[in-house]
Structure 1
Amino acid sequence: MENSWLNLAGDVVLITGALGGMGRKIANDFAEQGANMALVDLNKEATAAYAKELANTYNVKAEGYACNSTVEEQVEALIKDVKADFGRIDVLVNTAAILKFSPLEDLPFDEWKQVIDVNLNGYFLISQRVGQVMIEQQGGRMVHISTIASISPETYSGAYSPSKAGVNMMSKQIAAEWGQYGVRSNCILPCFVKTPLSTKFYEDVEVEEGRRRMVASRRIGDVQDIANSALFLASKRSDYTNGHELRVEGGFGIMLGDLVPKPGGRRQYAIDSRKPKA
C-alpha cells in the first residue's frame, strides 16, 4: 500500500493464534497494509488456506504454519522455517490464548497449568526465539494481546488473570533488556470486545446493556479496535513507545466513580443540587 501512514508494507509479520477472532482480523489488516504474513496456529491446512486467501486478496507473500507454542521443538522448527521463507521477522503479534472458568477452590491443578502454559509459557517461547532473530537483525516490534483482567482480576476465571499479568511483566522485561538492540515490546489490554468466543455473552440484552453502562464510550468494542491498536504499536509511528500497556477498553477503567449510586441517579442528583432550595 503506497503512502501508508503506518509504513508497514514489506515488513514480515508473524502472528500466533492466527485463526482466532482477533488473530484473523489483525492478520487481514496487516496484509491490507502490504505486510508479508507468517500465520501460526494449530491446524496446518486451515492456516495455510487463510494465508493463501490473504496472499491472493492483497498481493502479499503469506505462509501458514502449524505450531504448538508450548512445545520448544516445534517453536524452534517454526522460526527456522519462517527465516528460510522470509529471511527476517520484523513484527511478532501474540494472540493465542485460552480461558477456563472455575472458582479457585475447585480449579484442578492441571487446568491451572494448562492455562499458564498456553498464555504465558507459549508467549515466552515464541517471544524468546523471535527475539533472538530480532536481536541479530538489530530491530523488531512485539505486540502481545493481554487483557484488562491482568490488572483487575477476572473472578472465577481460574488462571487467566495471573497468566496475563505475567505476560504484562514479560513484555516489560523484554523492552528493558532488548530495547538496546532496537527491539520494542508492548501489550494491548482489551476489555468488553465482541469476538466469536464472546458473542454468546452479548446475546443476552441485559448483559450487553449492563456492560455498555460500565464503559465511558457507551459501546462494546470489536476486533477492529484491537487490530487498529496492534497495527499502530507494530508500526514505526510508535517508535518511542516501549514496555507500554495500551488499554483498549473504551474508558472502562475510569468509570468506578460513575457506578457508585446516588439518589435519583448521579446525573439527576447533580441537576437537582443546582435547584434553589425551598
Structure 2
Amino acid sequence: MSQNWLGLENDVCVITGAIGGMGSEICREFAKQKANLVLIDLDEVKCQQFAQELTAEYGIKAIGLACNTTNEAQVDATVAKVKEVFGRCDVLVNTAAILRFCPIEDLPLDEWSATVNINLTGYFLMSQRFGRLMLEQKSGRMVHISTVASHTPETYSGAYSATKAGVSMMSKQFAAEWGQFGIRSNAVCPCFVKTPLSKKFYEDKEVENGRTRMIASRRIGETIDIANAVLYLASKRSDYSNGTELVVDGGYEVMLGDLVPRPGGRRQFAIEQHAASLSAKK
C-alpha cells in the first residue's frame, strides 16, 4: 500500500486543541502522512515546541499559534497568518472542548456559557472563518470532534451533550450549504477513550471493567482510534462522505439489549434455552 494512500501529503491541516491528548495524537498522525500542520491552542510556547518536534521528526512544515477559538479577532488573525504562511487551508480539524460535571439543577449560567462558547461557538468561528478561505479555493475538508453523548445525554455533565449535539448538526449544515462549492464537513463521535483527562477514571479497575463490559469490542478506546477516523474523513479516500457522523465507540451504541439482565447472564440463558428446545424436540 502506498505511503500516500490517504492523499494527505503536502496538504495544509489546521488542528485546534493541538496539544491536548486527542489533538496531539491527530497532529502526529497527520505528520506521518507528510501533511503540513498549523497547531492551534492557548499555550503558544507549547504549540511552537510541538510544531518544531514534528518538523524535525517527519520533515514537514509545521507552525504553532496561540488562539482563543471563541475570540473573533484572534480567529481572524489566525486565518490571516495561515494564509500568509501557506496560502491555503486544505483541512480543518476542531478538537478543542471542555467537559464540566454538575447536576443540571445546580448548573451556574457561567459554566453553561463557557461550555457553549468553547464547544460550539469556537467550532463555529473556526469553521466559518476557515470556511471562507475554502470557499475562495473551492475546496476543503472539515472534521469536527463530536461524541456519542450528542445522541444520548451524558448525565450530570452540564451543557456538554447539548453543545456536542449542536456540533453534529452544525457540521451537517456546513455540508449542506457548502458541498456545492467543493467543501466537505463531517463529524467523529468517540466514546470511552483513554486521554490524559480521562485517565483518572481508568485508575479504578472496577470502573474500567464496568465500562469495558458495555463495549462490544470489550476494550477501551485509545486516541489513535480517533486519529485514524479523523485522517480518513480528512483524506481524499472519503471523498463521497459529506455531512455524516463516524461513530468510533467499539460498538457501545449497539450494546443496550445485551446489558439487560437475564437469569445466569444473557449468553448462558440463550445456551440453556437452546439446549432445552433441542431436548424437547427429541
Query: Which TM-score tier does this pair reach, normalised by the shorter chain?
Result: over 0.9
Give how far 1:7 is off.
1.2
Q: Deviations over 1:60-89 (max 9, x none)?
A: 000000000000000000000011011100
Verify: 1:53 aligned to 2:53, yes or no.
Answer: yes
Q: Residue type matched to 2:120 in 1?
A: L
Q: 2:268 is matched with which residue?
A: 268
Verify: 1:136 aligned to 2:136, yes or no.
Answer: yes
Q: Deviations over 1:74-124 (max 9, x none)?
A: 000000001101110000000000011000000000000000000000000
Q: 1:65 is matched with which residue?
A: 65
In structure 2, distance between residues paired with 1:141 and 1:10: 14
In structure 2, distance between residues paired with 1:55 and 1:265: 53
Count of equivalent residues = 278
In structure 2, distance between residues paired with 1:86 and 1:22: 24
Q: 2:30 is matched with which residue?
A: 30
| Percent identity for Structure 1 against Structure 2 | 63
In structure 1, distance between residues paired with 2:45 and 2:81: 16
Q: Residue type matched to 2:166 in 1?
A: G
Q: 2:258 is matched with which residue?
A: 258
In structure 1, runs of 5+ residues without a counterpart are none
In structure 2, runs of 5+ residues without a counterpart are none
In structure 2, distance between residues paired with 1:160 and 1:142: 21
1:1-278 paired onto structure 2 within 5 Å: 3-275=3-275, 276=279
Q: Deviations over 1:14-35 (max 9, x none)?
A: 0000000010000000011000
Give how far 1:274 is off.
2.2
Contact 2:3 2:33 in 1 (8 A): no
Q: Residue type matched to 2:241 in 1?
A: T
Q: Secondary structure at the match of 1:226?
A: helix
In structure 1, distance between residues paired with 2:60 and 2:2: 13
In structure 2, distance between residues paired with 1:71 and 1:270: 57
Q: Residue type matched to 1:8 in 2?
A: L
Q: Deviations over 1:125-178 (max 9, x none)?
A: 000000000010000000000111011000000000000000001000000000
TM-score (norm 2): 0.97
Q: Residue type matched to 1:60 in 2?
A: I
Q: Residue type matched to 1:144 in 2?
A: H
In structure 2, distance between residues paired with 1:157 and 1:93: 24
